[in-house]
A and B are shown apart, each in its own frame.
Chain A
Amino acid sequence: MCAHVDGWSGTGSDVGAASVRSGSALNGSPPVEVQSLRKTYGHVVAVDGVDLTVHTGDVYGYLGPNGAGKTTTLRMVLGLIRRDGGAVRLFGRDPAEGPAALAGVAGFVESPTFYPYLSGRENLELLGTLDGGCPGRWVDECLDRVGLLDRARDRVGGYSLGMRQRLGIAASLMRRPALLVLDEPANGLDPAGIRDMRQLISELPEQGVTILYSSHLLAEVEDVCNRVAILNAGRVAFEGGLDELRASFGETTRIVTPDAARTVAIAAASGIAAAKVEDDAVWIDAPTSAVDALTLALGSAGIPIRSLTRERRSLEELFFQLTENTS
């Protein structure tokens, strides 16, 4: 089950290459399919009808405020807790059916945890045994990749949070995953560690690894993920590409003119109601075609346009708009 890997800085890594990964994981089904997933704890509905699909090659950001149900979903995805309703499929297999369904799947939920009285290497060797055996050389290569080879003989009890996160990544890479599930992997990492993590997450999809990435670091998610699901109060508030997410909120255009008041009036006459003056500029929320029409109308009215900028909303803005408006 174990993988051949290169350094944490990762050049030419073979960790995710399909040639060394369990062929059974690559059966054509999506890496993750979740349908109408539901989990309750007493009267509290933690996950309420979640649907999401992670396609092969995705770096899929799974976002949501605290208590939204992200970790509960991931636990059900990995078969750690039973679901009350709905379906989960990993490469077409139900994780509730047992460990065979987790072939080609690796990762961790919340902070990775290890036996504190064993060394880092021993912990990985133990996990390798539970995977059916893992040569010591591969264990060392995984440790080397995450920059822990020098501390491999130290007891995990003496590791910092960031070092445990790195060890968690190493433990995941050992399984040469086709799907990597990471829950807040940057927790406790120093800036260099976050940079390395970002680089690793960027590299793995090139090698055929699909990543389901839960994080609070929205800038990181925006940087590395191509698709996202935003969970709020146990429900999916949005699922799709980042561009789709932006488009669903419309785009903001900033126009600087010498006559803001008339610009707003002309915008209103053109059917753009959401126009306002702020910071000596006119801000409008409208699709590209409406902005094109407005520029022509302003030209016809003799109002010069000093600058026109399409303002791209950050994922953070969109996240808050989705989660705070519907909470």
Chain B
Amino acid sequence: MIWGAYRWEVRKLLRQKRTLAAAAAAVLYALAFVVTLRLKSKGGLPPDIPLAGQVKQTAAVLPLALLAFATFFGAPIIASLVPGDIIASEDTNNTLKMILTRSAGRGTIYAAKVLASATYAVALVGVLLLTALVGSTIAFGIHPARLENGRLVGGLHAVGLTIGAYAAYLLPVLVLAAVALFLSTATRNAPAAIIGTVFVSLLFQGIAALPGLGGAKPYLLPDQFTAWESLFGGAGSIPRAALVCAVYAAVPALAGWLIFRRRDIAGL
């Protein structure tokens, strides 16, 4: 029954303006980068972004810049836009009392919402990647790229690495989606869940900036946003990011479930 409930959750998301607005925002964000860099005659990306110097030479680089710039605000806002609303809106519309008096249990409903939130995050990152790749391909073409370690790779290979980078970036985005889902369950208020997710993200960034954390930093959330750089010869570890993000995502998702399974459905 989870599969059926999940399909309906996705269908509901596709019918809501909020989802379409998030997708449009992702497209506009990507296109803004493409247009700006295409029109910019001098300079380019900050040098700390992998392959920054080759941004106008091959399509694989510009999408990476989007990731680097999105970490502080873009990712938490976009990642929380729908998951932050997915349970809160049921409270607002008073629809939980209808669906929870059917044969599907709370576990089924919650699992379907978790899966739908994850699907949304995957789709949104996919839209961002697709727009950025198509835009930068049109603007700059697909050409070989030289990685941070000096290895020259073909244009399509570089694009493949970029796709891998987005897959790796998805991991911490899913953590933010899980945080938003938890806040949506706990606060029953979509704006509070979205703002709260941004706050939690900034809090993680602040903690990571504290001095003396040395060995713990690779296990803090902000480092997972740059794990994709390892694909291009930079620091970081994607397997470790997967493990760390799984733990970080599981905690809010389980906490949300503990609230959801026991809560009274009494309307707002």
User: Which chain A residues have a beta carbon within 8 Å of chain B's beta carbons?
Assistant: 1, 72, 75, 78-82, 98-99, 102-103, 105-110, 112-118, 122, 126-127, 129-133, 171, 175
Contacts and interface: CB of A to CB of B under 8 A. Distances in A.
B16 interface: yes
Contact of A81 (B1, B93, B99, B266): B266
A118 B99 CA distance: 14
Contacts of B109: 130
Interface stretch (B4-12, B63-71, B113-121, B206-214): B4-12
A115 B102 contact: no
Given A78-B101, A99-B102, A127-B102, A115 B5 contact: no
Q: How big is chain B's contact interface, by range? A: 20 to 34
A115 B8 CA distance: 11
B263 to A, nearest CB: 9
Nearest to A39: B264
A75 B4 contact: no
Contacts of B1: 129-130, 132
Contacts of A72: 266
B103 A1 contact: yes
Contacts of B216: none
Contact of B8 (A78, A102, A126): A126
A132 B98 contact: no
Interface string B248-268: 000000000000001011110
Contacts of A99: 100, 102-105
Contacts of A75: 97, 264-266
A110 B264 contact: no
Contacts of B98: 108, 112-114, 127, 171
B102 A131 contact: yes
A115 B12 contact: yes
B55 to A, nearest CB: 41
Interface in B82-120: 93-95, 97-106, 108-109
Contacts of B103: 1, 99, 102-103, 130-132
A118 to B, nearest CB: 6
Contacts of B108: 130
A112 B95 CA distance: 8
A263 B61 CA distance: 107
Contacts of B7: 129
Nearest to A181: B101
Contact of A80 (B5, B12, B100, B262): B100
A79 B99 CA distance: 12
B94 A113 contact: yes
Contacts of A112: 98
28 contacts: A75-B264, A75-B265, A78-B97, A79-B100, A80-B266, A81-B266, A99-B104, A107-B101, A108-B98, A109-B97, A110-B97, A110-B267, A112-B98, A113-B97, A114-B95, A115-B12, A117-B15, A118-B12, A122-B11, A126-B8, A127-B99, A129-B1, A129-B5, A130-B8, A130-B103, A131-B102, A131-B103, A132-B103
B93 A108 contact: no
Nearest to B12: A115
